[in-house]
Amino acid sequence: MPNNGRNPMTINDLRKEVEAWRKQKPVNESVLLFLKSPVDRAGALIFFVILVLTLVFVPVFELIRLVILRPIFSLFHTIVVLIAAIFLRITARPLIRLGIKAIKNKEQKRFSRFFYTHFPGFLRFFVRCFGPSLKFYLKIDTKDVRSIGKFQEWVDDTLGVEGIWVESDVNRAVRRETWCPFAGREIPYVSGAGQESRVSNPGESLKSDGTEFCSYFMAGWLNDFVRYCNPEFEIAPVNRMIPKGDEFCEFIWRRKNAW
Amino acid sequence: MNILISYYSRTGHTAELALLLAEEFMARGHSVDFEKIETVEVDHHWPILWRTQWYWGSLALGILSNTYRQYFIKNYKIPEVDLKPLVHPDVAKYDRICIGSPKHTILPCAIERYLRQIEGLKNKKVGYFATWAGPPLKYFEVEHLFRPAADRLERRGARLVSILALSSMYHEYQIMFIFRFLSRLRFGQPVENFSVYSEYGKNNRKLFCDELILGESDIKESKGWRRSYDGTGIPAVATASPLTTLQFVRRGYNRYVLKKPKPPFKKSDSQI
Question: Domains of chain B: which residue ranges?
Answer: 2-235
ipTM value: 0.81
H or E stretch covering B7: strand B2-7
Query: Other CB atoms closer than 10 Å to residue B6's CB: what's the count?
Result: 25
What pLDDT does B23 receive? 95
Pairing of strands B96-101, B2-7: parallel
State how far the Cα of B13 lies from the Cα of B114, in Å rounded to an integer: 19
Q: In what order do the strands lie in the sheet with A249-255?
A: A162-168, A172-179, A249-255, A233-235
Best interface-test mutation with B: which of A1, A15, A62 has the largest number of B CBs within 10 A?
A62
For residue A132, give Cα distances in angstroms to A228, B41, B235: 9, 33, 49
If you average pLDDT over every residue of chain B, what do you get?
83
Task: Name every chain A residue with its beta carbon within 8 A of the beta carbon of B50.
Answer: 47
Are A62 and B88 in contact (CB < 8 Å)? Answer: no
Least confident range of A96-105, A154-163, A183-192: A183-192
Query: B90: helix, coil or strand?
Result: strand
pLDDT at residue A2, as a whole number: 57
| pLDDT at res. A119 | 92
Instruction: Give backbone dihedrals phi and psi of B117, rounded to 5 degrees, phi first.
Output: -85, -40
Spatial neighbors of A105 by CB under 8 A, at least 6 apart, are A112
Beta strands in chain A (DSSP E): 162-168, 172-179, 233-235, 249-255
Q: Measured between CA atoms, how close is B245 to chain A, in angstroms?
A: 18
Reported as a single tens digit per residue, the pLDDT across A113-146 is 888 889 999 999 999 999 999 999 999 999 999 9
Of the candidate ranges A81-90, A227-236, A242-251, B155-164, the one whose mean pLDDT is the lowest: A242-251
pLDDT over 60 (residue B235): no
Choose from B174, B177, B179 for mutation: most chain A CBs within 10 A: B174
Dihedral Cα B246, B248, B253, B255, nearest 10 deg? 160
Q: How far apart are CA B18 and CA B185, in angstroms?
A: 29
Provide the pLDDT for residue B271: 44
Q: Where are the domains of chain A?
A: 91-255
A18-47 pLDDT, tens digit per residue, is 999 998 888 877 777 777 778 878 888 888
C-beta separation of A206 from A191 below 8 A: no
Nearest to B61 among A5, A34, A62 (CB): A62
Residue A179: is its pLDDT beyond 90?
no
Share of chain B above pLDDT 70, in %: 86
A31 → closest Cβ in B11, B116, B174: B174
Identify which of B19, B119, B175 has the shortest CB distance to residue A31.
B175
CB spacing of A6 vs B26 below 8 angstroms: no
Which residues of B, range 196-215, sit inside 8 Å of A by Cβ? none
- With b for 16 or more beta-carbon neighbours within 10 A and e for fewer, the A202-218 pattern comes to eeebbeebbbbbbbbbb
- Which residue of B lies nearest to A255 if distances are taken between CA atoms? B117
Least confident of A149-153, A198-202, B135-139, B220-224: A198-202
| DSSP type of residue B30 | -
Write down the mean pLDDT value for chain A.
Answer: 86
| CATH number for the segment(s) B2-235 | 3.40.50.360
What is the pLDDT at residue B112?
Answer: 94
Q: At B160, give phi and psi (nearest 5°).
A: -85, 115
β-strands B2-7, A249-255 pairing: unpaired
Mean pLDDT of B181-192: 82
Flag if A11 and B117 touch (Cβ within 8 Å).
Answer: no
Phi, psi angle pair for A75, to nearest 5°: -60, -45
Share of chain A above pLDDT 90, in %: 48
Residue type, A193: A
